[in-house]
Amino acid sequence: MTAAIIFAITIVLPNLFLMGLGFFMQRRGEASQAFIDQASSFVFNYCLPCLLFFSVVDSEVDYAKQMILIVAGILVTFILFIGAEIYASYFIRKPADQGVFVQGIFRSNMAIIGLATVANAYGEQGLSIGAVYMGVVTILFNILAVITLSRVSKSAADTWLSRSIMIIKKLFTNPLIIALVAAFAYKALPLPPITGVIHKTGDLLAAVALPLALICAGASIDLKSMLHPSGLSMQASIGRIVIAPFVAIAVGLSFGLSGVHMGVLFLMVASPTAAASYVMAKAMGGNDILAANILAFTTVVGMFGMAIGAAILRVLGWI
């Protein structure tokens, strides 16, 4: 039991410390909104793509087991999405709230907190597996987000066709997806290993990605929103922090996952609500205040949920 607790603390505490540093810097006026925006853009467009690309290129992943993990992740996402949609249709009246609620439950922060926690838990092997998982499930996240947020239209020009074009553009111009596709193509072709200056430069950029992303996440925390959540945001937060991990465990066990693959599934699904959910809700006319409340509360509280869940799964020998 002691070993399981130490394992859980080890994988979560570094992330909390870095987020705490970001929050501390923001309170001291050392991390302005301009800094957060520019640093987040730098991480998303350059550092994370390098991290994902070299993680896949350098890995020796068992893709047969990886496919089982990806299918399990897709099933978990659909279960959470459909379940949240049914709940929203019965218990939430305002269309502007429904899509935000649903997105807050099914869409987790895989690219930053999920990957960082997996890397702390399993090192390079986990990072490679998590990168491939994230690449596929991210595509599904974006499609489902557009579907659920489309209840609210900001203008007459906002139609299903325009939304479809938007989602296609987002997928084909997403730096993370481009990096993963490039990595798979490189591994499939008979090309020599990447070494020397190129690899070293990529490693340096990759090393910046997760620490800087976590600092930006911490600097973006709205303490007021976190401490004064609404009833609806609490319901969504319970769905993300409590229900989503249980669904992941049930699906993972039914697929026969164990060890690192079960660990990756749990940590990716149990991650807090994705930061992109707020941006997308605001852009598509959803209740952005509700989205901010869900994001703030799950970002902090969800980390403790991940630690508790990881400790229990470790004791049971499932991860």
In the chain, domain spans? 2-316
Distance CA 209, CA 220 (A): 17
Say if residue 90's pLDDT is above 80.
yes
Task: Supply the mean pLDDT for the chain.
Answer: 84
Look at residue 115 in the predicted model and tell me its pLDDT: 85
Closest CA to 277 of 149, 136, 150, 117: 149
CATH of 2-316 given 3.20.10.10, 1.20.1530.20, 3.40.50.300, 1.10.1270.20: 1.20.1530.20
Distance CA 39, CA 45 (A): 10
Q: Model confidence over 155-202: pLDDT tens digits?
A: 545 666 776 777 777 777 778 788 888 888 888 888 888 888 989 999
Closest CA to 114 of 131, 102, 96: 131
Distance CA 53, CA 156 (A): 40
Q: Tell me if residue 273 falls in helix, strand or coil.
A: strand
pTM of the shown model: 0.82
Closest CA to 150 of 284, 300, 315: 284
Q: Model confidence over 206-262: pLDDT tens digits?
A: 888 888 888 888 887 777 766 666 688 889 999 999 999 999 999 999 999 988 999
Distance CA 213, CA 19 (A): 9
What residues contact 190, with CB distance under 8 A and at least 6 apart? none
What does each C-alpha distance from 243 to 22, 287, 306 come to in angstroms? Answer: 29, 23, 12
Look at residue 48 in the predicted model and tell me its pLDDT: 85
What residues contact 275, with CB distance under 8 A and at least 6 apart? 109, 112, 217, 220, 295
DSSP 255: T
